[in-house]
Each structure stands twice: as structure tokens, then as C-alpha cells.
Amino acid sequence: MAREAGRRSPAAAARSRAGFAFVSPAMLVMLLLVAYPLAYGMYISLFRTNLLNRWDFVGLTFFVQSLSDPGFLRSLFITALYAILVVSGHLLVGVTLAVVLASAIRLQVLFRAILILPWLFPEVVVALIFRWIFDPIFGLLNHVLETIGLISTQVAWLDDPTWAFVAVVGAAVWKGYPLVMLLALAGLQSIPRDRYEAAALDGAGRFAQFRYVSLPGLAPILGVAVILEFVWWFKHFTIVWLMTKGGPVDATNVVSIDIYRTAFQSFDFGRASAMAVIVLFICIAFAIAYRWLVPDEQA
Amino acid sequence: MTLPKTLPMLLSLGAVALVPALAPSPALAAGELVTLTVLSSTIVEGPEGKAEQGFADAFMAENPDVTIEFIGVPANELYAKTNTLAISGEMPDVFINSPEFMAQAHDLGIVADMEAVLGADYLAGFADGPLAQATVEGEYQFAPWFTIPNTLLYRRDVFEEAGIEPPTDWDEFRDVAKQLTVDIDGDGQTDRWGFAMVGSNNGSGAGRFFLVLRAHGAEELSADGDGWVTGFDAPGAVAAFQLYGDLVADGSVPPGPLQTSYGEAVSLIASDKAAMMITGPHTIGAVLDQNPDMAGKLAGALLPTLEGVTPQINLGMFGWAVSADSEHKELAARYIAFILNKDNQVAWNLATGRLPTRLDALADPRIARPELEGFIEAAEYGYQVPTARFYPDLFGVAGDNYQAVIIGQLSAEEAATDAAARTERLIDNNR
Amino acid sequence: MSKPSSAIGGAHPLFYPLLLVACAIVMVPVLWMLSTSLKNETELFRDPLLLWPEKPTLAAFRSVFQDYPFGAYIRNSLVVVICATAISLAFSTLAGYGLSRFRFGGRGAFLAFLLLSQMFPSVMLIIPYFKILKSAGLLDSRLGLIVTYVSFTIPFCTWMMYGYFRSIPTELDEAAAIDGCGAVRTFFTVILPLALPGMVATSVYAFITGWNEYLFALILTNSEEQKTLPVGIGQLIGQYRIEWNELMAASIYSTIPLMIFFLFLQRYLISSLTAGAVKN
């Protein structure tokens, strides 16, 4: 993949033009609808503004204030914890189920069809169902627990900081594991079977086979998935917002909710933009760090 | 000589030239369809929505060239929505405004000159109390539509059965709430709780908390010369935060108070799961809509107060404002006047329990129904909501803190201190 | 491309219980949703709880359409998401091919930017989008939402198609060139047919993303006529009266198109993920 060094043959120039032509529709969209809003968002972060009749230049004030605001830092921590737990949950559940589905079990198609279901539910719906299940008086969870005898009074799950956090993580894991499961299944199916035979010949049991053949085989595909998943769930809004609105108090106040509130309830758009830019840099830093720690040839 | 001949021609030319000037404004020219956009929160509520749509339909029947198009938003999202529309330059012709929001609306410059639009004569037809609360810097910000004095709503039949009167001070309130938390069928499960607390972190919850605050002699925000000062750290405020914590700790509040917003609390009252609630007369209508068996069982009473504190009741007023950018201001004014005419004001009250603001409607005997007595009485103690641009931000300040007290994360003192500090920062940032 | 998918290891006896538990965890909320949607008012708030309605009724399914402009919500979601998916698919397929086959100025920057654009919190892009759509007069319109959703999905779809095209050997292009095909002919007649599974995967992703999307639709639409399904459902929670049976009925409605879409494309999705995975 050597680049042309300065001089270009007409053929290369023609290919360059062709390449450009193919890429231009997407590039145009990206420039207009991604680059410009990004730049504009960064621009707003330098002003105290309500976007209508007040534009006071404040420079980096909001950045300084946010980074020294314990509330914001706490929401960053909560978000990171949330993303880590959710992605880990996806990996654990998804890979496990993929391994099971990839084995010689019967009714594979049926099981797979059922296990993919959560992915097909819009996030709004998932948030709703779980909120209804966790309802203190009319919720299924309390009813079941009471019937079994595990609890004696009705528990307000979403009112408790710890349980509310567990609930939003749980809902997110329920919703998102199928994607990882599918990717892992695809990855497993692409591993040459003779590797497993060779390992079996060497006396490797089932678990060893998983550890030394399956996992390395899955590593490339899961690698990319982990970065994207972490970033997606770090930015996540819908499920947490509709289940707890960031509460109780600030127990599930992920950073996107914090930004949303600052922008659309306090109408402090400059501050919200600064917070968003900080999140942007965090995600970039994570991607870079991850790449450095877990290099692969994906470029 | 030619003059007499040309005179008729000149006259007719003149007449023709005058006709456009005499014709109605372009918006109402015959045959042209006009759409009037209306931003309303009541349109999405139970009995209110049907009644409001009825008004719009009647108006459209009388004015066939006009279409009323509603933008419906739940009340707790009203301010956010209005702000969003303002910023995007998409303000509707008519929108709901309120004392809590009017300072912000005024600051955004989205309110038309209501006195000019409605006329001073028309404004004189409003009751003094509501009208006085509708001004910012001497300018009217909306035409008051209804008041829903927020006071104590209670189950008259439950109180009679227990042989008690509505509480008059807060210690009594706490005792009554505990007393009325009962296990009716003896299965070990509470069937009815004493108090349906709206503990959600939004305007519904915070607004009610402010009432409890003021009933303890503290004010979340009050004018201080040209600026503002907060009473969140006054001893009365600490007591108010403490009360919220105590009520939940006593078990007098149905489980899940932090998730109980207005709608949930209404359902609790309607399904006979709570005996008291801090709210306005409109809740009676909402409850009956869900459970007609509750007819005659609900009544209003003055909120308890701390010893020596004068009652302060939030009138919960909403009104109609015309957008500064509207191209149909006259039409908007006519629509507003239509909704506010005597028949419609009375009809609105009969359907929803919300109290009228126009003098002619208030004089109608049908308004003074027994179940509304307590609310009408409470309206005498209405206070002016502080006209600070940042007032809606106080909802979150209060909400975060009373929720923290309820779940035991903060003590009442810590909550009060935090609320005061955050309010002071708001005051500073908005000087 | 992929080896024939033979099983890895035998079926361990623990697998079946594990699968059953997993399926139960999936199905319980789903069945509860169904059960709730079939209840009437009084059964909904019954104490003690009814696990399944005594008198199942489709009333909620009907009233959802009567009390709310659900037809409009569904129509808007379908129109917006199908159009956005189609456009996104077209643009990202072209771009993915261009990126994988050609060298041109700015290629590296474009690739880096594709990744970078994934990292910005979407909640913050709303305000710039306001301005853009407002200046173009596209606020509160399906076209505005289509434009918005296209901009969301193009980065990732382009990345997916890029990865996928890299797995298609360039020998095919060279062979076509020898046969006298220009770049465009090569693309459309030789490469594109091979890219179908990848395109399916991309369109599934784009469809699900768009169908799911809540926040932007919430902020960028005002009138009931233009709101999408997720916004319509989300509104039902904010109402003063929460009718859980209607909510669940609405939720079922909003999941069905995805299920249908997915059912048809299941096979292609798995095989394309496999193919993409091999060469990655």
C-alpha cells in the first residue's frame, strides 16, 4: 500500500479521481453533517449562551469549571463504571452463549432465534418493560420475590442508588448481548476446525480448547467490538433516562444525561458543549490506549 | 364640465381603493385557510384534553377558515419544549405561560405585548390576584386561564371514619399520615398509605416541596432589593427536608416515592392506596376520570403550617401568551378570548375542577361546589412566584436534595446547606 | 471464504439447562409485556398481581390507535428509517469500495475521521443540528430526520463496508480491468453482487439504529404528525396517566417490523458476519 511519492502517472491520477468519486457522497455527508456540527459544538463551548440572544465569550471557563466540578467528575466515573460493566456483561453472556450455540446442541436455530430477541426491541421499549417490572407496587419482580418469600415488604428498586444502578446495567446487558453473541458466533465459525482437532490430539480438554483455540480466534473480531461497544455505552442515554432519569439523586447520572440536563433543562449550552468535548477526548483517549495495549492489524 | 361626468368614476375608483383598507387583515381574508398553532400541556391530560379539544372544535366551527393545531407536551416538559422552540425559531402562535416560566420567556423575548394584543379593557375583566401575578417589569406576560391552588387534598370519607379532622400543623400531619396507613384486610400488607408524596425530581415534586418549605416559614427564593436571596438554609427549611425523610421512614408513604410523579400519585389516590396528597382541585377530576367511585369522597383543606407561619399557597396558574413572532396575533387574541369566555370558563371548571380567572365566571354559582370549597379558600393565600429567570433551575436543586434525604444519603442539614449553596451559585451566575 | 460451519465440541449436558435459563431470562420480560398488553384497566392494577389476564382483551391494541396518532408515528418511523437506511447503504457501499480499492488524497484523514466521529456524544450534536435543519427549513419534518439518521449511520456503515470489501480479493477487479471494464462497471457488475451479504449486515445495523433512535427525534420534531415511534412511546410515560397496557401494546407494535426485517435477513446476516470476520 505504498503511497505515490509526488509524481503521479496519469493512470494513478485517474484512479485517484475514481476513488474520490466513490467516496464523495459519504464524504460530503460527513463534512456537512458530522464535521460541521462537531466544529460548531466545539465553538459553542467557548461561550455562555442560550443560543438565542446571549453570546458571552468565556474561553475555557466551562472546561475548567467542569473538570473541577465534583458532580461532573462523579458522573464521568459512573459512566465509565456503567460502560465497563455493560460491555463486560455483553462479553460474558455473548461469548458463553456463542460457545454453547456453536457446539453440537440440537434445536440450534430455535435457541438462536429466541436469544436474539432482545436486540430487536427498541431501547425505549426495553427501558419501559424493565421499569414496569421494577415497579414497587405493581411490578413483576416484587410479586415473584414475595411469592417465593424472599422479601416481606415491597421494595422500591429504582429508588435505591445501588439497585437502580444494577437495574440499568441489567437492562442494558439484556438488550445488547445478542450483538456480541452474533459476532462471537461468526468468529467461532470462521476458526478452522483442524485447530480443534490438533488441540484434542494434544490432550486439550474442552476448556483448554476454548482458551487456546477459540479465544485467540475470536480476539480480532471481539477486539473491534469492545472499542465500539465501550464508546457506544459510554455515550448511552435512552435506557438510563427512561428508567431513572439519572436518579435517584445522581446514582445513575451518566454523563450524557448530565449533558442533556445542562443543555435542555438549564439551557446552559456552552457548558454542555464543553462537557461533551471532554467526553470526546476521553473516548479518543480510550480508543488510543486500547489500540496500544491490544494491537491488531485492523487499520 | 367634465367634472360631473368623471365624479362618479372617481368616486367608484376611490371606493375600490378603500375596500382593501376596510377589508379584514390578510390573515382573515375570506377563503384563505389559517392554521393557528397552540402549545399546550393540558391537551395531553385526562379530562382536560377532551375539554380543551372541545373548545378548539367549537372555535373552528365558528371560524371555518381557521384550523387549530395543538402541540401537546406533558407539563413537566413544557419549559424545555418552549425553550427549544424559541431557540429554533419555531414558536407557535399561542403558548402556555406561567409565573414560574414567564421571567425566562420574557428574557428570551418570545412574548408579544399582551396588553396591546388583548386590550386594557379585556384585561380589566380578570380577577386581581391572578392578573397581578402575570407581570414582569410591569408588562403582562399572559392571559391567566386557570388557577389550581395547591393545598391539602384528602379523603373525606376516610377521615370521617377515623373520626379526625384534617391536620393543621406538621406534627399532626405526620401523626395522621401514620394513623391512616392501614392494613385493611389483615393480610400483613399495607393496603392504604397515609400520604401520596410526589417525590419525583421535577417541577411536580419540587413545586409541592416548595409549599411544604414555605409552610415551615422558609422561602426557596425571595426578592432582596434588586436581587434575590435564598432561604434554603433557614431552620424551617431543615425541618421541611427532615419531614420528607421522616414521612418515608415512618412508612406512611407508598413505596417508590422517588418515582412518584403527579400521574403516579393520582393513580394512587384513585386506586384507594393513599389518603392525602398535596395538590390542586384538578386532581379531583383526574381521579374521577380513573375511578368514578371516588365521587364525593375527596375534599380540600388548608395546608398545615408551622406555628405562627402564615399559609402560602401556590396558585398553580397557567395562562395563554401570544408569541412575539406570530403572524396571527389578532386571531390568537380572539382564540384566547374564546377559551376565556364565561361559558367556557365554567365548562372548564365543571370538567376539570380548575378555577376560573375571569370575574364573570368566578361569579357563577356553579363554581362554588362543596368539593372545591377548601381550594377556593386556600386561593386567598396565594403568593407571587419569584420572577427570576433561573427559577425553573430550582426544581432540580430541591429535587436532588429531598431525594437525597429520603434515601438517607444526606441529612436534612446537609441537604439544606447544599440547596442553599447551589441556589446562591445560580443567583450569582445570573446577575 | 468460510469453512463449512461444523460444530465445535459436543453438547455438554450443562448446555441445555444453561440455554433454558438464558431463554427464560429473555422470554420472561417479553411474555410479561404481552400479558400486560392484554389486560384491561382493572386487571392492570389488581392486587395481588395477575400473571396472566383472566379476560384477555385486545382493547389496548385498539385504543393505542384511537387515543394517540399511532398510525402517524408508525408511518413516520417506517418512512424515515427505510429512506435513511437506503441512502446510508448506498453511500457507505460506494465509499467503502472507494476506500478499499483506491489511493487518493485525504484517504487516511477520512478513515481517521470515520472513527473519530463515533466518539462524540450524540446529545451534543443536537444543537448544531437544530441550526442546520432550521436554516434548511427541515425542522419537524421527516426529511430532516432522514438527513440526521443518514449522518449517524454513515460513519459506521462505511467502516463496515470498508472492512467487508477488503475481504474481497482485488484479483477480481484486476481481471475485470483486463477485460476492459472501467472502475464503475467493475464495481457494479463484478464486485457489488459479492458484497450483498455485507450490505445486508450494514442495512440491518442502519435499520435498527434508526428504528431505535429516540433523542434526536424527540428534540427535532414538534408536531404529532411528525413524531416517530420511539418518541410516541416515550411520551406515553410522561403522560399524567400511565396506561401500562397501552404502553406495552405500543411496544409490541414497534418491535414487529424489526422482527420481520430480521427474520428475512437472518441467514445473510450470519454469513456476512462470518465472511467479514475471516478477513479481519
Looking only at the bridges linking them, the beta strands covering B139-140 and B135-136 are: antiparallel
Does the pLDDT at position C274 exceed 70? no
- Mutate which of A252, A267, A268, A271 to test chain B, going by most B C-beta atoms within 10 A? A267
Q: How confident is the model at residue C275 (pLDDT cuts 50, 70, 90)?
A: low
Nearest CA in chain B to C241: B263
Question: Quick one: what percent of chain B has pLDDT higher than 70?
Answer: 93
Contact in structure between A118 and A172 (CB atoms under 8 Å): no
Question: Is the CB of residue B425 less than 8 Å from the CB of residue B417?
Answer: no
Q: How close A158 comes to chain B (CA, Å)? A: 7
Dig out the grid coordinates for B75 from the structure. Answer: 407539563
Longest dimension (CA), chain A: 81
CB atoms within 10 A of CB C21: 10
- Measure B289 CA to nearest chain C CA, in Å: 10
As a whole number of angstroms, the distance between CA A202 and CA A208 comes to 11
CB nearest to A26's CB, from C92, C244, C266: C92
Q: Is B149 helix (H, G, I), strand (E, B) or coil?
A: coil
The alpha-carbon gap from A36 to the nearest alpha carbon of chain B, in Å, equals: 18
CB contact under 8 A, C121 and A115: no
The distance of B186 to chain C (nearest Cα, Å) reads 14
Q: Which residue has the higher pLDDT, B405 or C268?
A: B405
Chain B residues whose beta carbon lies within 8 Å of the beta carbon of residue A249: 201, 400, 403-404, 407, 409
Which residues in C lie closer than 8 A to residue A238 (C-beta atoms)? 212, 214-215, 230
CB nearest to A105's CB, from C16, C47, C184: C16
The shortest C-alpha distance from A28 to chain C (Å) reads 10
Report chain C residues touching chain B, CB-CB < 8 A. Answer: 45, 47, 130, 134, 139-140, 219, 222-224, 235, 238-242
The answer to whether B393 contacts A266, with C-beta atoms less than 8 Å apart, is yes
In this complex, which of A52, A247, A265 lies closest to B108 when CB atoms are compared? Answer: A52
Question: Searching chain C, which residue's CA lies closest to the CA of residue B192?
Answer: C47
Residues of B with CB under 8 A from a CB of C: 44-46, 69-72, 74-77, 81, 84-85, 87-90, 191, 262-264, 266-267, 271, 286, 289-290
Q: How far apart are CA B106 and CA B139, in angstroms?
A: 9
Residue B363: how many CB atoms within 10 A of its CB? 11
Nearest to C103 among A19, A99, A192 (CB): A19
Question: Which of B 241-280 lie inside 8 A of A, CB atoms?
Answer: 254-259, 273
In this model, does residue B99 exceed pLDDT 80?
yes
Contact C222 B85 (CB under 8 A): yes
Residue of C88, C93, C124 best to disrupt the A interface, most CBs of A under 10 A:
C124
Predicted pLDDT of residue B21: 39
ipTM above 0.85, yes or no: no
Crossing angle of helices B393-406 and B412-429, in 10° steps, is: 170
Chains that touch A (3 or more CB pairs under 8 A): B, C
Of A38, A237, A242, the CB nearest to C123: A237
**What pLDDT, on a 0 to 100 scale, did the predictor assign at position A295?**
62
pLDDT of residue B187: 78
Is residue C110 over pLDDT 50?
A: yes
Using the predicted structure, report yes or no on whether residue B337 has a pLDDT greater than 90: yes
Max mean pLDDT range (A39-48, A193-202, C80-89, C149-158):
C80-89
Whether residue B274 contacts residue B112, with contact meaning beta carbons closer than 8 Å, is answered with no
Using a CB-CB cut-off of 8 Å, the residues of chain C touching A105 are 11, 15-16, 19
The average pLDDT across B240-255 equals 95
Cβ–Cβ gap A124/C212 under 8 Å: yes
User: Are the C-beta atoms of residues B19 and B75 closer than 8 Å to each other?
Assistant: no
Nearest residue to C124 via CA among B77, A264, B108: A264
Record the cell numbers describing residue C24, joined without a space. Answer: 427464560
Structure confidence by residue, pLDDT tens digits, B7-65: 444 444 444 444 443 433 344 445 578 999 999 999 888 788 889 999 999 999 999 99
Distance from the Cα of A91 to chain C's closest Cα (Å) equals 15
Chain segment A120-179, per-residue pLDDT in tens: 888 988 998 998 899 888 888 988 888 888 887 788 899 899 999 999 999 999 999 998
Q: Which chain B residues are within 8 Å of C238, Cβ to Cβ?
A: 74, 76-77
Backbone dihedral angles phi then psi of residue B63, each to the nearest 5 degrees: -125, 80
pLDDT value for C195: 82
Distance from CA of B407 to the nearest CA of A (A): 7
Q: Output C205 or B161, whichever has higher pLDDT.
A: B161
Are the C-beta atoms of residues C203 and C89 closer than 8 Å to each other?
yes
In chain C, ranges of CATH 1.10.3720.10 domains: 67-279
DSSP bridge pairs for B227: B224
Residues of C in contact with A21 (CB under 8 A): 98
Distance CA C35, CA B201 (A): 30
DSSP-H helix ranges across B169-328: 170-179, 203-215, 235-249, 262-270, 282-290
Q: How confident is the model at residue A290 (pLDDT cuts 50, 70, 90)?
A: confident
Q: Looking at beta carbons, which residues of chain B come within 8 Å of C139? A: 88, 90
- Asked if the C-beta of B400 comes within 8 angstroms of chain A's C-beta atoms, the answer is yes
- Confidence band of A296 (pLDDT split at 50, 70, 90): low
Note the pLDDT tens digit of each residue in B341-364: 999 999 999 989 899 999 999 999
How many angstroms separate the CA atoms of A221 and A186, rounded? 9
Nearest residue, CB atoms, C154 vs list A30, A123, A124: A30
How close B291 comes to chain C (CA, Å)? 10
- Interface A–C counts its CB contacts (< 8 A) at 311
Q: How far is CA A105 from CA A191, B199, C221, in A?
A: 18, 51, 48
DSSP string, chain C: -PPP---SS---TTHHHHHHHHHHHHHHHHHHHHHHHT--HHHHT-SSPPSS-SS--SHHHHHHHHHS-HHHHHHHHHHHHHHHHHHHHHHHHHHHHHHHH---TTHHHHHHHHHHGGGS-HHHHHHHHHHHHHHTT-TTSHHHHHHHHHHHHHHHHHHHHHHHHHTS-THHHHHHHHTT--HHHIIIIIIHHHTHHHHHHHHHHHHHHHHH--HHHHHH--SGGG--HHHHHHHHHHSSS--HHHHHHHHHHHHHHHHHHHHHHHHHHHHHHHHHHHH-
Question: In a 3-state reduction of DSSP, which class is residue A185?
Answer: helix
Confidence at B282, pLDDT banded by 50, 70, 90 = very high
Report the residue count for chain C.
280
Contact A16 C234 (CB under 8 A): no
Q: Structural domains in chain A? A: 61-293 (1.10.3720.10)
C-beta of residue C253 within 8 angstroms of C-beta of residue C228: no
Among B393, B404, B42, smallest CA distance to B199 is for: B404
Out of B71, B74, B271, the one facing C223 most closely (by C-beta) is B71
Mean pLDDT estimate for chain A: 86
Q: How far is CA A91 from CA A166, A174, A215, in A?
A: 17, 12, 12
Report yes or no: A249 at the B interface, CB cutoff 8 Å.
yes
Q: Which CATH number fits domain C67-279: 3.30.1340.10, 3.30.2310.20, 1.10.3720.10, 3.30.70.1140?
A: 1.10.3720.10
- Chains touching B (3+ CB pairs < 8 Å): A, C
- Asked whether A212 and A199 are in contact (CB, 8 A), the reply is yes
Comparing CB atoms, the residue among A137, A153, A248 nearest residue B407 is A248
Catalogue all structural domains in chain B, each as residue range(s) with its CATH number: 30-148+316-381 (3.40.190.10), 151-314+386-429 (3.40.190.10)
Rounded to whole angstroms, how far apart are CA atoms B17 and B12?
A: 8
Q: Which helix (H) or strand (E) holds B402?
A: helix B393-406
Q: A83-87, A133-137, A204-208, A271-275 — which one is most confidently predicted on average?
A: A83-87
Chain B contact present for A50, CB below 8 A? yes
| Interatomic CA distance for residues A142 and B170, integer angstroms | 32
pTM above 0.95, yes or no: no
Q: Which of A271-280, B65-74, B81-90, B170-179 has the lowest mean pLDDT?
A: B81-90
Quickly state the pLDDT bin for C5 (edges 50, 70, 90). Answer: low
How confident is the model over C161-180, as pLDDT tens digits? 887 888 788 888 888 888 88
Q: Does A68 touch chain B (CB under 8 A)?
A: no
Q: Which residues of B touch C240 (CB under 8 A)?
A: 44-46, 74-75, 262-263, 266, 286
A1 DSSP assignment = -
Mean pLDDT of B198-220: 94
Task: State the helix-helix crossing angle for B203-215 and B235-249, rounded to 10 degrees.
Answer: 120
